[in-house]
Amino acid sequence: MRKTVKSKRIRGKSSRRIALFLEEMGPYGERAMQAIAQFARGRGTWRVDMANFGEVTADEIAAGKVDGVIFGRWGALPELLKAINHSGVPAVDISGADEVQTPPARVMPDDRGVGIMAAEHFLARGFEHFAYYGLPEEFNHRWEKARRDGFRDTLASRGLSTDCFSGSARGWNELHDGVHLMALSRWLIKLPKPCAVLACIDAFAYEILRLARESGMAVPEDIAVCGVDNRLWICMLANPTITSIPLDGVQAGARSAQLLDKLMAGRAVPQEPILIAPLPIEQRESTNVYAFHDADVVEALHYIRDHCNRPITVADILRTIPVSRRSLEMRFKSLTGQTLQAEIWRAHLDRAKRLLLETDQSIYDVAENSGFRTSATFNVMFRRAVGKTPTEFRRQVKLPMRQP
């Protein structure tokens, strides 16, 4: 059972001053702040002051001049934590920083889940060799270790090993110097091919692509690469474009605001962190390959992915691959671990998730454009696979951008 703590209750106030300490955190932080802003506008009683613009300081927190704090990565984090602890003000941490040990509540990405998602993505594509590019041990960042361990442990459970590279850099600047990159290049060359590589952040994935190109390795044929954060300016300017796992800033922001509201009302909250699952993987060119040795199985997989916008049957696949149904189904199940029909459903559902997140199409249109014959079938299959209806999924992970 989770332990809980009681927060300081704020009584008799018609409005509440909320301090927001959040430096640039990429897509995750920006989406989190948008969700916090949306909650504050809907609540009506919140006035959010942003430390970035000098509207609030740690000294004001220490003096008890704010009612609640949400904070992420911040340059003067020790000073901020000292002020929060001194005043006892309700606070929620969304930074995931390792030095944060004592706030009453934490909301953070499920970084282990990120590693698991990457491993499952590569396994579904038939890879047998795997590698991970992370930070040097002395950086000692919890989030990076969690991504590595989720990736490595998932593969180990299948009897597969992971070759890890971290280098010996002593600071962020040294991660891009010649000595570090030369060691990284030598490591990439020695990896068994084809190899699937998870980079702990998108910038590292970009470096792998550049070094692979300089060394004559083909991406994704020799090395398939997945990053984390889905920073579009990195992923889309890369050649080839980079597959990446997005962190769910919308849910992180919404849950942190809801949690702070409860804390300010004196509600008991869990001491354990609230983990926010990553969004569905953004599949791009850097992993657009199948490493299975059976050409018929690979062709079937490509057919399914290329035609998942319309209804597909196993008979449709067999019309393009001149083999017996029993032979193909047995070989497909042996290599992928699932049936042809299960892969067809998965492709339809993956497309539906992307349409729900990236478009404003109606549920009926999403069903039709994802290859489902009826919206009723779509709703049943989606809820069975995801655990929520398509409408609930869209509402919880897509932030509506309403004008004031």
Q: What is the chain's Cα-based Rg?
A: 24
Torsion of CA 38, 33, 237, 281, to 10 degrees: -80
Residue 402 domain-assigned (yes or no): no
The reply to whether 232 and 138 lie within a common domain is yes
3-class secondary-structure state, position 215: coil
The pLDDT assigned to 102 comes to 57
The reply to whether 154 and 181 lie within a common domain is yes
Give the chain's domain count: 3
The reply to whether 117 and 102 lie within a common domain is no
The reply to whether 240 and 252 lie within a common domain is no
**168-173, Cβ contacts within 8 angstroms, sequence gap of 24 or more:** 168/136, 169/136, 170/136, 170/138
Token pair of 320, please?
């393009």
Nearest to 142 by CA among 103, 81, 100: 100
The pLDDT assigned to 103 comes to 57
User: Tokens 């998730």 sit at which residue?
Assistant: 353
The reply to whether 27 and 117 lie within a common domain is no
Q: Which amino acid is at 85?
A: N
**Residues of the domain holding 304:** 295-394
Residue 145 domain-assigned (yes or no): yes
389 burial type by CB count under 10 A (0-12 exposed, 13-18 middle, 19+ buried)? middle
Mean pLDDT of the chain: 89
The reply to whether 267 and 191 lie within a common domain is no
Would you put residue 5 in left (φ > 0), alpha (ψ -120 to 50) or beta?
beta
**Least confident span in 60-69, 75-84, 169-178:** 169-178
The pLDDT assigned to 98 comes to 64
The reply to whether 300 and 384 lie within a common domain is yes
The length of the chain, given as a count of residues: 404
Percent of the chain with pLDDT over 90: 72
3-class secondary-structure state, position 149: helix
The pLDDT assigned to 398 comes to 64
Which of 222, 257, 287 represents a domain boundary (last residue)?
287
CA atoms within 13 A on the CB side of 200: 21
What value does the mean pLDDT take over residues 33-51? 92
- Residue 400: phi and psi, rounded to 5, are -70, 130
Specify the CATH number for the domain of residue 179.
Answer: 3.40.50.2300
- Residue 370: phi and psi, rounded to 5, are -110, 5
Residue 401 domain-assigned (yes or no): no
CA distance 80 to 155: 40
Token pair of 200, please?
């702990």
Whether residue 292 has pLDDT greater than 80: yes
CA distance 48 to 16: 8
25 pLDDT tier (thresholds 50, 70, 90): low
The reply to whether 14 and 138 lie within a common domain is no
CA distance 273 to 181: 36
The pLDDT assigned to 2 comes to 42
Whether 198 contacts 147, CB under 8 Å: yes
Specify the CATH number for the domain of residue 299.
Answer: 1.10.10.60
The reply to whether 91 and 104 lie within a common domain is yes
CA distance 73 to 284: 29
Residue 400 domain-assigned (yes or no): no
Token pair of 44, please?
């009506």
CA distance 131 to 148: 10
Paired with 19 in beta bridges are: 49, 69
Residue 403 domain-assigned (yes or no): no
Whether residue 404 has pLDDT greater than 50: no
CA distance 169 to 178: 11
CA distance 9 to 375: 47
Helix (H) or strand (E) holding 348: helix 340-358
CA distance 134 to 203: 11
Top pLDDT among 12 and 190 is at: 190
Helix (H) or strand (E) holding 39: helix 26-43
CA distance 274 to 259: 10
pLDDT, tens digit, for every residue of 87-122?
999 999 988 766 555 556 889 999 999 999 999 999
The reply to whether 229 and 258 lie within a common domain is no
The reply to whether 124 and 223 lie within a common domain is yes
Whether 269 contacts 263, CB under 8 Å: yes
Whether 269 contacts 7, CB under 8 Å: yes
Please report the sign of the dihedral spanned by the C-alpha atoms of residue 25, residue 28, residue 30, residue 36: negative
Residue 14 domain-assigned (yes or no): yes
**Least confident span in 25-29, 251-255, 283-287, 389-393:** 25-29
Which of 256, 287, 318 represents a domain boundary (last residue)?
287
pLDDT, tens digit, for every residue of 351-393?
999 899 889 999 999 999 999 999 999 999 999 998 989 999 8
User: Tokens 């079938």 sit at which residue?
Assistant: 377
Residue 143 domain-assigned (yes or no): yes
Instruction: Give the chain's count of helices (H) and strands (E).
Output: 16, 13
Helices (H), 191-285: 202-214, 232-235, 249-264
Which of 259, 287, 315 represents a domain boundary (last residue)?
287
Residue 150 domain-assigned (yes or no): yes
Q: Which residues 6+ apart lie within 8 Å of 68 measured at CB?
A: 10, 16, 17, 18, 19, 89, 90, 91, 92, 260, 263, 264
The reply to whether 105 and 117 lie within a common domain is no
The pLDDT assigned to 156 comes to 98
Token pair of 359, please?
């478009």
